[in-house]
Amino acid sequence: MASDSRIGMHCFLKDISVHGVLLDSIIEGTLHEKKRLREMFAHGMRSGAIKPLVRQVFGPDQVEKAFR
């Protein structure tokens, strides 16, 4: 069994930022706002500023491994 590991605050010294997004604001936005957001995402993806998250999919029998 693997041991738990802590995430230190040192990662924030590397000039990174964390942003939260309220999805209900996007869903309830006007058509113009949604179109503008789509354009911003498309531009960010083309320029490389927005990149897909690296992910790993775990099976139902790998719950403990997924949480570690």
> What pTM value is reported for the model?
0.47
Q: How far apart are CA 11 and CA 9, in angstroms?
A: 5
Tokens 């503008």, residue located: 36
Domain that holds residue 48: 16-59+62-66
In a domain, 32, yes or no: yes
In a domain, 6, yes or no: no
pLDDT in tens, 22-43: 778 778 889 998 899 899 989 9
Q: What pLDDT score does 3 carry? A: 58
Decide if pLDDT at 52 tops 60. yes
In a domain, 51, yes or no: yes
In a domain, 1, yes or no: no
- Cβ contact 30:23 at 8 Å: no
In a domain, 46, yes or no: yes
How many domains does one find in the chain?
1
